[in-house]
Amino acid sequence: MPIDPPVLDSPRGSKMPVISLFSGAGGLDLAVERVADTPLQSPVVPSNGPFRVAVATDYSAQALDTLSLNLPGTATWPGDIRDTPTSELLRVGSMSAGDAALVVGGPPCTPFSKSGFWLAEKRESRDPNASLLEEYVRVVAQARPEAFVLENVQALTYKTHQKHFQQLLAALADLGYNPQWKTLLAADYGVPQLRKRVFIVGRRDGQAFRFPEPTHAGPSETTRSWDTSKLFHVSAEQAFAGLKTVSESKELVEGKYGQLAAEVPAGQNYLWHTPRLGGRDEFEWRSRYWTFLLRLAPDKPSSTLQAQPGPYVGPFHWENLRNENGDLRARRLRVPELLRLMTFPDDFQLIGRRADVQRQLGNAVPLELGKAVLRALTLQLGYIDAETDSDDQLVRSTSDAVLIS
């Protein structure tokens, strides 16, 4: 059942309200509330930022339970957005049209992601969930926030989905928001993950949003040269510095490919076991997804964390452990390690089984990436003083983000 808005204390109640759509576990929501804070500040510590998430909605009640644990002052509304009137979201958030400072959210990326791309309806962009983009536009049109931030997978911009993408931009432009979009690499903003996401940002006053400049640089799948004046990408090993973890149930990679996974060196994948490299002759060259039997390289950022990986889909940790029979096996990443790779606080709480946790984090926006976009927007709207939020502070905060234990 919907949860009525809590009684807010004065400091939080004086902050500008934000509507969160497709909220999930609250990665973008946490970025909204921590936009002016130092990295990895505990989610329960009062924020210095100008915003509060007044209402968050998602189809997954479990994900909203996670959000509520970490943002207890946010009212939540579980349910299908297609059945949720904007007026109800405004009521639950104690707002009227025009009150919201922001609408934020990332419509589910399934219709546009590479996962399941072999399905005809996805290849042809016929997935019915693509209509969720229209629901986002509908809430912006009716709530009339000062600005909006929409996040999605990079594939939304591909030629295959060009029709949906152009319709989305046109609809937002018709509302007067002058939408600007850009694909950002999370690692370029201090996140130890080579995760690409497209952001679309618009302002009600029609002024063009300017995306933040990257603070970090380094090699990626498509980059072999980079700006050496910037900080180098944060590596997985740096992200895990000072982190103490305990073993988790079923963390070892067993079964059909268990031994093969253990033999893959750090930074390599199933291609190690092809005639071209040093492993066994088990697979054809480029016959599997890149993440099959993928091991983390300690000196590089992680690949994108997936929401629903198969049993042999990495990235797996670079270290091997022995199973009950004494055989070496690769191990899956532990939850505290996943949190570090997402630049979430160490004390971020998640509800559900291990698969539920993986899904919630894999679907989330890395906290420091969300903060980079939202901080730029907040500066441009005039809610943070540029003199007290210098470029040096931005560089320092994102550099230190994953080094705080």
| Segment 79-109, tens digit of pLDDT | 999 999 999 999 999 999 999 999 999 998 6
- Residue 31 confidence (pLDDT) above 70: yes
Same domain assignment for residues 358 and 323: no
Which pTM was predicted?
0.88
- CA pair distance 73, 187, nearest whole angstrom: 30
- Largest pairwise CA distance in the chain: 66
In a domain, 205, yes or no: yes
Instruction: Calculate the CA 102 to chain-centre distance.
Output: 18
In a domain, 181, yes or no: yes
**How many CA atoms, within 13 angstroms, populate the side-chain half-sphere of residue 144?**
7
Helices (H), 131-242: 132-143, 162-174, 236-239
Percent of the chain residues topping a pLDDT of 70: 84
Same domain assignment for residues 39 and 184: yes
**CB of 403 closer than 8 Å to CB of 368:** no
- pLDDT tens for 233-262 read 999 999 999 999 999 999 999 999 999 999
C-alpha closest to that of 190 among 223, 221, 149, 235: 235
- Boundary residue ending a domain (305, 333, 361): 333
Same domain assignment for residues 326 and 357: no
Domain range enclosing 86: 10-225+349-400
- Residue 388 confidence (pLDDT) above 90: no
Q: Could you confirm whether 109 is annotated as catalytic? A: yes
Q: Give me the catalytic one of 21, 103, 109, 185.
A: 109
- CA pair distance 403, 389, nearest whole angstrom: 21
Kindly indicate the confidence band of residue 389, based on its pLDDT and cuts at 50, 70 and 90: low
Average pLDDT score, the chain: 88
- pLDDT tens for 171-192 read 999 999 999 999 999 999 999 9
In a domain, 308, yes or no: yes
Residue 44: the pLDDT is: 54
- pLDDT tens for 55-78 read 999 999 999 999 999 999 999 999
Same domain assignment for residues 189 and 308: no
Same domain assignment for residues 272 and 296: yes
- pLDDT tens for 189-237 read 999 999 999 999 999 999 999 999 999 999 988 878 999 999 999 999 9
Kindly give, in sequence order, each residue whose CB lies less than 8 Å from that of residue 222, ignoring residues fewer than 6 positions away: none
- As for how many domains the chain has, the answer is 2
- pLDDT tens for 356-379 read 999 999 999 999 999 999 999 999
203 token code pair: 């302002």
**CB of 70 closer than 8 Å to CB of 349:** yes
Same domain assignment for residues 312 and 373: no
- Residue 393 confidence (pLDDT) above 50: no
Same domain assignment for residues 187 and 318: no
Greater confidence (401 vs 220) lies with 220
Mean pLDDT of 7-16: 61
- pLDDT tens for 102-155 read 999 999 865 544 444 334 444 444 455 568 999 999 999 999 999 999 999 999
Least confident window among 9-13, 103-107, 165-169, 367-371: 9-13
- CA pair distance 250, 232, nearest whole angstrom: 34
Same domain assignment for residues 164 and 53: yes
